[in-house]
Structure 1
Amino acid sequence: MATQTANVPAIEKSKNAKPLPFRYQFAASAFAGIFEILVMCEFNTKPILMRLIAKNVESVLDCFRKMIRNEGVLRLYRGITAPILMEVPKRAIKFSANDSFAPLYQNLFSAPTLTQPLAILAGASAGATESLVVVPFELVKIRLQDKTSTSSYTGLVDCLVKVIHQEGPSALYNGFEATLWRHIVWNAGYFGCIFQVRSKLPNPSTSLNPRKQKTVNDLSAGFVGGVVGTTLNTPLDVQKYASAFPKFVVVAREEGFRALYKGYLAKILRFGPGGGVLLVVYSAVLYVFGKAA
C-alpha cells in the first residue's frame, strides 16, 4: 500500500515541511468552495436533464449552448447567492477538517506517514464535523425549496430566524442522523479514494513540470473521489425517512435496489467534476499561502 507524507488534499511537501495553520486551510477551503460553486453549481443538472428528457436538445453541450444563446450567460448564475451562503461553509469545513484530522491520527497511531486507512478515517471524521455545520443549512434549503412552506419565508435569514423562534434551536438539527451518515460515507470515500489514486499517479516532484503534473493529479484524484463518494452515499440520500439505515432497508424492500440510486446520473455529473475542481483549487490556494507564509 502506498503512503505519502502530506495531508491528503494538500500540496506535496518535503519531509521537514509543516502543515499550514488551520486558518489558512479554512480560507483555502472556503475559496475553493466558492470557485467550485461558480463553476459547477449553476450548471444545474436538473434543468439540463429535464430538457434532455423533453428532447429539446441533442446533448448536454447543446443544452448549455442553447441556454446561453436564448437566455444569456447570466442565466447560468441566477440565484447564486443562496448556494454560496449555504454550501461554502460545508466545503470550507470539509478540507480544513480533513487536513486537521490527518496529522492527529498519524500521531495517535504513531504512523510516520499517512496510510489509506488513516486517510479514510480522517475523511470520515471530517464528514462528521461537516455535518454539524451542514444540517441547519440543509434544513433551511429544504424549507425554501418546499412549495408548501416557501411562501412562509422571505429569504434565508428570515427562514432561519423563524425556525429558531417558532420551533426552537434544536429544530435546526432535525434529520441530523441521516445527514451525519451521508457525509461520513461521502467524505470517507472521497478522501480515501484521493489518497489511493494519487499514489498511482506520477510523482510531481520527478516531473519536468511539477505544477502541471500536480494539477493533473489533483483533477484526476478529485474526480474519481467525487464519483466514488457519490456512489457510496447515494443510497443514504433518500429523503423519505428520517433515519438513515432503516430507510435504506425500507426503500430497497418496497421499491427495489435501483430505487436507492434515483438521480444518480445527475449527482455524478455534478459531484464528479466538482470534486476535481475542489481539490485543484484548494491545493493551488494552499500553495500560494505556503509561499507567502
Structure 2
Amino acid sequence: MSSDKPLPFIYQFAAGAVAGVSEVRDSPYPLDVVKTRVQLQTGKGTGEDAYSGMVDCLRKIVRNEGFSRLYRGITAPILMEAPKRATKFAANDEWGKFYRRVFGVAKMNQSLSVLTGATAGATEAFVVVPFELVKIRLQDRAQAHKYNGMLDCVRKIVATEGPLTLYQGLESTIWRHVLWNAGYFGSIFQIRSLMPKPADKKGQITTDMVSGAIGGTVGTVLNTPMDVVKSRIQNSPKVPGRPPKYNWAWPALTTVMKEEGFAALYKGFVPKVLRLGPGGGILLVVFTGVMDFFRRMRGD
C-alpha cells in the first residue's frame, strides 16, 4: 500500500505483522465479544438472557458473568493478528505486482486496487479460519463453559468433531475477507487520490489515518452480513446424523433474512464498525511507517 519503491516480500510481511499487533493492542477487544454475542443471537432479543443492543450486551455480560468475560477468547486473536495482518498486506502487494504484469499496467488504479484487495482477502482467510473458530466458540455464552481456554478448546474440537472442523466456515470466511479487503484497499486508493498530496510526515499520517478509517468502515458495511453467517456456521458443533442449520454462506444468508429479516444481517454492526473503522486507520499508518523505516534502513 505504500506509494514508494516496493520492498521484498519479507519486509511487507514484517510490516504487516507489526501493524496487526498495533491494531489489536489499540482496538477494544470487548467490542468483538459483544459483536459475536449479538450475531449469534436469533430473534429480536428480549428477556434477561437476550441482548437488545451493544450497551445492553456489555451491561449484561459484566453483571451476569463478570468483567473478565469481556476478554474471553482473547488469546486466539492475539496469536492470529500478526500472521493475519502480515498476510493481508504482503499478499496485497504481491497480488498487485502480479495483476500489473498480467494486465500490462504500470501503476495501480481503482479497479486493480479492488481486485487486488479481494484476492488478498481470500489469501488471508486461509490463515485466520482456525483462530476465528476457536475465538467464536470461547466467546459464545452457551458453549464457553465447555472449554478451559484456547488449547483445551482446540483439543476438544479435534477429539469430538475431527481436525477438519477447525476449518469449518472457510467458505464464508473467504467471502467475509474478500468483501472487507476489496472495500478497504479500494477505498484507500480512492481517498488518497482525492486528498491533497501530503507535504510532510504529519500530512502523510493524517492522510493514511483518514483513508484507512474510511476504508475500514466501507469494508465493514460490505462484509457484515457474511460475518454474521460466518459466526453462526463456526458456532454450529457437528452432530452425527444431524445436518447443521447454517452450513454454506449464501444459503445461510437466505435463512437469516427469511427468519429474522434483512436487518438481522447487520447484527453486531455498531461494535464491529467502532473497532474496525479506527482500526483500519491504525493499520495503514503503522504499516506505512514501518515500511518507510525499512526503506531508510536499506538506504532506498
Alignment partner, residue 110 of structure 2: 116
Alignment partner, residue 17 of structure 2: 30
Alignment partner, residue 223 of structure 1: 213
Alignment partner, residue 40 of structure 1: 27
- Residue 188 of structure 1 and its aligned partner are, at CA, apart by 0.6
Contact 1:194 1:224 (C-alpha < 8 Å) held by counterparts: yes
Distance 1:54 1:247, change over 3 A: closer
State yes or no: 1:236 paired with 2:226. yes
Distance 1:158 1:171, change over 3 A: same
- Residue 75 of structure 1 and its aligned partner are, at CA, apart by 11
Contact 1:46 1:266 (C-alpha < 8 Å) held by counterparts: no
Task: Name the amino acid aligned to 1:99.
Answer: D
User: Separation in 1 of the partners of 2:131 and 2:116?
Assistant: 23
Task: Name the amino acid aligned to 2:248.
Answer: S
Q: CA RMSD in A?
A: 2.8
User: Separation in 1 of the partners of 2:211 and 2:118?
Assistant: 17
Contact 2:216 2:279 (C-alpha < 8 Å) held by counterparts: yes
Contact 1:37 1:84 (C-alpha < 8 Å) held by counterparts: yes
The one of 230, 249, 259 equivalent to 2:254 is: 249
Larger CA deviation: 45-54 vs 136-145: 45-54
Contact 2:9 2:94 (C-alpha < 8 Å) held by counterparts: yes
3-state SS of 1:203 partner: coil
User: Separation in 1 of the partners of 2:69 and 2:283?
Assistant: 23
3-state SS of 1:202 partner: coil
Alignment partner, residue 270 of structure 1: 275
Alignment partner, residue 8 of structure 2: 21
State yes or no: 1:106 paired with 2:100. yes
Matches within 5 A, 1:201-216: 201-204=195-198, 207=199, 210-216=200-206
State yes or no: 1:163 paired with 2:130. no
Distance 1:164 1:246, change over 3 A: same
- Residue 172 of structure 1 and its aligned partner are, at CA, apart by 1.4
Unpaired stretches in structure 2, ≥5 consecutive residues: 36-51, 60-66, 233-245
Distance 1:216 1:75, change over 3 A: farther
User: Separation in 1 of the partners of 2:165 and 2:34?
Assistant: 31
Distance 1:77 1:233, change over 3 A: closer
3-state SS of 2:105 partner: coil
Larger CA deviation: 170-179 vs 137-146: 137-146
- Residue 45 of structure 1 and its aligned partner are, at CA, apart by 6.7
Alignment partner, residue 145 of structure 1: 139
- Residue 161 of structure 1 and its aligned partner are, at CA, apart by 3.7
The one of 147, 154, 161 equivalent to 2:148 is: 154
- Residue 83 of structure 1 and its aligned partner are, at CA, apart by 2.9
- Residue 54 of structure 1 and its aligned partner are, at CA, apart by 8.9
Distance 1:80 1:181, change over 3 A: closer
Task: Name the amino acid aligned to 1:223.
Answer: A
3-state SS of 1:278 partner: helix
Distance 1:115 1:270, change over 3 A: same
- Residue 23 of structure 1 and its aligned partner are, at CA, apart by 1.1
Counting aligned pairs with the same residue, the percent is 51
User: Separation in 2 of the partners of 1:273 and 1:43?
Assistant: 15
Task: Name the amino acid aligned to 1:137.
Answer: F
Alignment partner, residue 97 of structure 1: 91
